[in-house]
Amino acid sequence: QCITHCPVGALYERDDIDPFMNAVHDPEKIVVVQIAPAVRAAWGEGLDLPREMATEKRLAAAVRALGVDYVFDTNFSADLTIMEEGNEFLERMTHADQYSWPMFTSCCPGWVRFVKSQYPDMTKNLSTAKSPQQMFGAVAKSYYAQILDVDPSRIFSVSIMPCVAKKHECEIPGMDDAGAGPDVDLSLTTRELDRVLKAELVSPAFLEEEEFDQPLGIGSGAGVIFGATGGVMEAALRTAYYVLNGKNPDPEMFKMVRGMDGIREAELEIAGIKIKAAIVNGLGNTRKLMEKIRSGEAEYHFVEVMACPGGCVGGGGQPITDGVELADVRRRNLYHLDKKNPLRFSHENPSVIKAYEDFFEKPLSHKSHELLHTDHEAWKMPNQR
């Protein structure tokens, strides 16, 4: 099923509500939903829900009211991403001569497609860490299936994302490492969420707030800022500081990487190690930065790229209000949620710590590599066949 916003009907938007509700109504399936950080800052807009009502706990209640079995938080796997990607960065810094620089973040599928098609020789610079969506899917069909003591093939894994490119990401060859079909079976956008809530007559304004399910419903403030440009960088720096110094920094210490400017740079020193970082959002800005890197005009160790202006808060799957750009309002909302979260560091997420103790052993372990990392060069862009 497809819908169109295009005035001449030339462009259609894929709609996956029917297969989602079919899975919800299938008694054999255990429907596990993850909700991305940026969704909580925007979901109420399409329902005319005032921002003070559109809380993350009311969002959990609304999704549960659709009849799904478990409602979890992608912030959990954003924290897991930081553990893997942060340690990968430190490992690359330790053996700097063996790697091509800078290291690029890899959690935005719009950006991954861009680099693979426009700068294919730099695909190797991408972190091998999967995105939080894909890490969550792999965890749901391995570690969480083990917790539930069910066959992983019974789990139907759904993500609610601010993004249309995430529908492509869960179909990339190799994103089935848990061995039970695609790790993420279906990805819905924030707009589809709002539509299915209306279609199923769920009125969030009349619902009490509810907690996410556990143990995959715990996320830190570092996880929630993944939804804003600069958030992945800041979350990674908080944990890199801890790993290198053995103690936490002030959680606000790296806030120089925040903002809405298209390209931002930061030079930092952590435990005597100098790190030159860049943060870019929007693919036009990304191309400018890539040309500078390629020509040698700019040199960095770590670059965060988000394809959408403002990052996922401004994602292509978010509600659209004609003539109004709400990315910055949503971004500020996420930093507010970070600040009021008692957990500010990914490495302190108790569910992440337990997942390593009980299943993954440690960041970059053999099992982590099997389930939480990917080879970006193993699949080809359609025009490379």
Residues that bind ligand SF4 (CB under 6 A): 108-110, 162-163, 165, 306-308, 311-312, 315-316
The candidate with the shortest Cα–Cα distance to 225, out of 354, 30, 37, is 37
Closest CB to ligand SF4 among 35 and 155?
A: 35
Is the peptide bond prior to 251 cis by the omega test (within 30 degrees of 0)?
Answer: no
Smallest distance, ligand SF4 to C-beta of residue 47, A: 20
327 or 352: CB nearest ligand SF4: 327
Minimum CB distance to ligand SF4 smaller for 270 or for 312: 312
- In angstroms, what is the minimal distance from the CB of 162 to ligand SF4? 5
Q: How far apart are CA 87 and CA 344, in angstroms?
A: 18
Tokens describing residue 225: 């800022």
Whether the bond into 249 is cis, omega within 30 of 0 = no
Token output for 201: 């007559």
User: In the bound complex, which residue of the shown chain has the CB atom lying closest to ligand SF4?
Assistant: 315
Which residue number, 115 or 312, has a Cβ lying nearer to ligand SF4?
312
* Nearest distance, CB of residue 148 and ligand SF4, angstroms: 29
Give the number of residues written for the chain.
385
The dihedral through the CA atoms of 14, 166, 32, 327 has a sign that is: negative
Whole-Å CA distances, 247 to 90, 132, 134: 16, 25, 30
Cβ of residue 313: shortest distance to ligand SF4, in angstroms? 8
Q: Which two structure tokens, joined as six digits, stand for 23?
A: 């899975």
Nearer to ligand SF4, 27 or 382 (CB): 382
Looking up tokens 């860049």 gives 278
When the beta carbons of 305 and 364 are compared against ligand SF4, the nearer one is 305
Residue 230: CB minimum distance to ligand SF4, A: 12
User: What 3-state DSSP class applies to 336?
Assistant: helix
| Listed residue (132, 155, 178) closest to 70, CA to CA | 155
For ligand SF4, which is the closer residue by CB, 142 or 318?
318
Among candidate residues 54, 32, 57, the one with its CA nearest the CA of residue 43 = 54
Least distance from C-beta 59 to ligand SF4, angstroms? 17
The secondary structure element, H or E, covering residue 3 is strand 2-3
Min dist. Cβ of residue 252 to ligand SF4 (A): 24
Query: Hey, what are 385's tokens?
Result: 């066949």
